[in-house]
Structure 1
Amino acid sequence: MRTICFYFQVHQPLRIKPYRFFDIGADHYYWDDYSNKSIIRKVAQKCYLPMNALLLDLIHHYNGKFKVAFSISGVCLDQFESYAPDVLESFKRLVDTGHVELLNETDAHSLSSLISKTEFQRMVNLHRDKIKKHFNGYEPKVFRNTELIYSDKIGAMIAEMGFEGMLTEGAKHILGWKSPNFVYENSIDPKLKILLRNFQLSDDIAFRFSNRTWSDYPLTTEKFVTWINAFPKEQQVLNLFMDYETFGEHQWAETGIFEFMKALPNAVFKYTDFGFSTPTGVVREGTPVAKINVPIPISWADEERDLTAWLGNDLQNEAFTKLYEMESRVAKIEDPDIQRDWNYLQTSDHFYYMCTKFFSDGAVHSYFSHYDTPYDAFINYMNVLSDFILRVKRKEEETTVISD
């Protein structure tokens, strides 16, 4: 039986409050608690709670034949714990069914895999521990890096950490003529199986569902199963990876997105030879057809499927470099506030807000940013980072005095 693998990314950053130059050295708390709580509660009502309830009903209705996977960032879990414990409980109920898989990622949804193996491993272990804590000792077997960022070397690091599989983008410039609808393996360590997102069908749901100018609008379950039935029989897995906020937040309830998802399993079971699996099920049961060669990192962002959404201009690179210059110094400091802020300052969204891309992808970046311009995002972040560096220096001086 061929299979559909649904994976949903669940992430909300901790947004930084307006932080002026004159706050440097005077105000050491950076986070906009009011906005963060308001956004979590809004998305909870529009997406997390209704969609979790729908998925739970589907799992029960089909006696576990319907399966999905989630990657919930650590920074999002922290906010659920503080602002939306009802959402956290609803995810626990899903996982308790035994038909929902949780994936490991970096705790702060960071870009650490691009710059520091040590910090990357620390972030992965932090997230692994957090998943264990919240979900009754659950241990993920498959890894999903921030924004599906992947390269051969990143995959080799993940294999070294004991994971069985990893998710990434089925980017055209990597695949060429090959299909994403197979299991592949890491080119350095073949033990690691690689699942590639079918971006065409994933984006039909995530981005084009409510677009009335789209030639295939409206998207119905009948149309969708016709498309997947057209795949050659040897293509065994369809990976549909998307933001969980697709449901109710990016695609409002009025678009019919919930009804589409509710009807999809029945249409798949009735009219196709597909079933549903989780990523671990796919990597254990599927046979890799080839190695996938990705010498330069890819992601699922924008048309280029590269890193330019986060590290594509001088502003982003200056902030990124300045932050990670602090790694070895922060590692020696045991202060919990310093460690908390170090983690949260690594969240990739801070760099995404600084993106100066225009044309087709510019509107997407503007939609997700709460800043008026990328330059405002950069100035605000660098002000905060300047204060953070002062705090680290002060802690180092205190430690020196004590040791003397």
Structure 2
Amino acid sequence: MRTICFYFQVHQPLRIKPYRFFDIGDDHYYWDDYSNKSIIRKVAQKCYLPMNALLLDMINHYNGKFKVSFSISGVCLDQFESYAPDVLESFQKLVATGHVELLNETDAHSLSALASKTEFNRMVNAHKEKIKRLFNGYEPKVFRNTELIYSDKIGEMVADMGFEGMLTEGAKHILGWKSPNFVYENNINPNLKILLKNFQLSDDIAFRFSNKSWSDYPLTTEKFGKWLNAVPKEQETVNLFMDYETFGEHQWVETGIFEFMKALPNMVFSQTDFTFSTPYEVVKGGKPIAKINVPVPISWADEERDLTAWLGNDLQNEAFAKLYELEDKVKKIDDPEIQRDWSYLQTSDHFYYMCTKFFSDGAVHSYFSHYDTPYDAFINYMNVLSDFILRVESKVKEMQAT
């Protein structure tokens, strides 16, 4: 039986407040609480609450035959607890149905897998414990790294932590002639099964749904069903991975995106031979067709599907290097505020805002950034990091003096 695997990324960063050079050494609180609360509440009303309610109705209507999965970043869960407990409760109700899977990721939605195995493991375990605390002891079995970043080595680290499956991008330059619609396995440790995003069908919903210049506009469930039926019969799983904010935030309610999603299961059940499954069900039920060879990290960002969205210029690389130079010192400091800021400063969005790409990818980066320019993002972050370094050095000296 062929299946559709829906995965949604749920993430909102903690945005840094405007932080001037003259604040260094004086102001040790970096976070824009007003902006962060306002954005969470706005997205809650446009996306999280109405979409969660819709999915709950769909799961109940189809008696559990309709299933989805989420990866909710730890930094987003922290904001739900502070600013949107109603949203957290709505996710808890979804998970309680038994037909919604939660995935593990890095707690702060960080790039730690690229910098430090030790910090990566700490971040993953912190997120695992947060999921367990907030979702009645739930323990994820499948991993999704920040922005689907994956390589053979990262997969090996994930397998060593006991996960049975991992999600990543079905990048053309990795797959070549092969299809993303199969289960694969890690090139180093075959115990880790790999699910690949079908970016064509995923992006038809996530990016092209409301694009009136798209040749296939408007997207209807009937049209989508024809595309599903065109998938060769031997191909087992169509993995539809996307930002959850697709619904109501990136694609406004006026586009009909909610109606499309509501009608989709009925079309799938009546007009195709597909079912719906969660990632773990696909991992357990599907036999890997081959190893997937990914020597250089890939992601689901931009046309290149590489790391250049976060580490593609000198600004980003300087900030990234300066941050992780602090790891050994930070780990020795028993101070909750230092540890909090250390985690939140690792969030990948801070580096994404510094991206200097132009053309189509540049437009996407500008859409997600609250800074006027990438250089403003760099200066603001480095001012904060300079203050953080002073705090870390001061704490280290205090420890050495005692």
Instruction: Give the TM-score normalised by the residue count of structure 1.
Output: 0.99
2:55 matched residue in structure 1 = 55
1:391 matched residue in structure 2 = 391
Give the superposition deviation at 1:401. Answer: 1.7
Give the superposition deviation at 1:193. Answer: 0.2
1:129 matched residue in structure 2 = 129
Give the superposition deviation at 1:26. Answer: 0.2
Give the superposition deviation at 1:270. Answer: 0.3
1:375-390 paired onto structure 2 within 5 Å? 375-390=375-390
Q: Tell me the alpha carbon deviations over residues 12-58 of structure 1, each in whole angstroms, 9 at most, x when there is no partner.
A: 00000000000000000000000000000000000000000000000
1:357 matched residue in structure 2 = 357
2:193 matched residue in structure 1 = 193
1:156 matched residue in structure 2 = 156
Give the superposition deviation at 1:159. Answer: 0.4
> What is the identity, as a one-letter code, of the residue corresponding to 1:73?
S
1:332 matched residue in structure 2 = 332
Give the superposition deviation at 1:379. Answer: 0.2
**How far, CA to CA, are the matches of 2:105 and 2:352 in structure 1?**
18
1:17-96 paired onto structure 2 within 5 Å? 17-96=17-96
**How far, CA to CA, are the matches of 2:60 and 2:288 in structure 1?**
31
1:4-403 paired onto structure 2 within 5 Å? 4-402=4-402
SS state at 2:390 partner: helix
SS state at 1:174 partner: helix
Percent identity reads: 85
Any stretches of 5+ residues in structure 1 without a counterpart?
Answer: none
Give the superposition deviation at 1:397. Answer: 1.2
Q: Tell me the alpha carbon deviations over residues 75-100 of structure 1, each in whole angstroms, 9 at most, x when there is no partner.
A: 00000000000000000000000000
> What is the identity, as a one-letter code, of the residue corresponding to 1:160?
D
Any stretches of 5+ residues in structure 2 without a counterpart?
Answer: none
Structure 1 runs of 4+ with >4 Å offset: none
> What is the identity, as a one-letter code, of the residue corresponding to 1:145?
N
**How far, CA to CA, are the matches of 1:159 and 1:29 in structure 2?**
37
> What is the identity, as a one-letter code, of the residue corresponding to 1:397?
K
Give the superposition deviation at 1:115. Answer: 1.1
**How far, CA to CA, are the matches of 2:314 and 2:395 in structure 1?**
30
**How far, CA to CA, are the matches of 1:128 and 1:217 in structure 2?**
40
**How far, CA to CA, are the matches of 2:376 and 2:22 in structure 1?**
15
SS state at 1:208 partner: coil
Give the superposition deviation at 1:279. Answer: 0.2
**How far, CA to CA, are the matches of 2:356 and 2:401 in structure 1?**
44
**How far, CA to CA, are the matches of 1:113 and 1:339 in structure 2?**
18
**How far, CA to CA, are the matches of 1:86 and 1:147 in structure 2?**
26
**How far, CA to CA, are the matches of 1:187 and 1:384 in structure 2?**
40
SS state at 2:7 partner: strand
SS state at 2:48 partner: helix
Instruction: Give the TM-score normalised by the residue count of structure 2.
Output: 1.00
**How far, CA to CA, are the matches of 2:8 and 2:294 in structure 1?**
23
> What is the identity, as a one-letter code, of the residue corresponding to 1:277?
S
> What is the identity, as a one-letter code, of the residue corresponding to 2:343?
N
**How far, CA to CA, are the matches of 1:225 and 1:46 in structure 2?**
27
Q: Tell me the alpha carbon deviations over residues 301-323 of structure 1, each in whole angstroms, 9 at most, x when there is no partner.
A: 00000000000000000000000
**How far, CA to CA, are the matches of 2:373 and 2:79 in structure 1?**
26
Give the superposition deviation at 1:359. Answer: 1.3
**How far, CA to CA, are the matches of 2:398 and 2:230 in structure 1?**
67
**How far, CA to CA, are the matches of 1:272 and 1:397 in structure 2?**
66
**CA RMSD, 1 decimal:** 0.3
SS state at 2:268 partner: helix
Give the superposition deviation at 1:360. Answer: 1.7
Equivalent residue pairs, number: 402
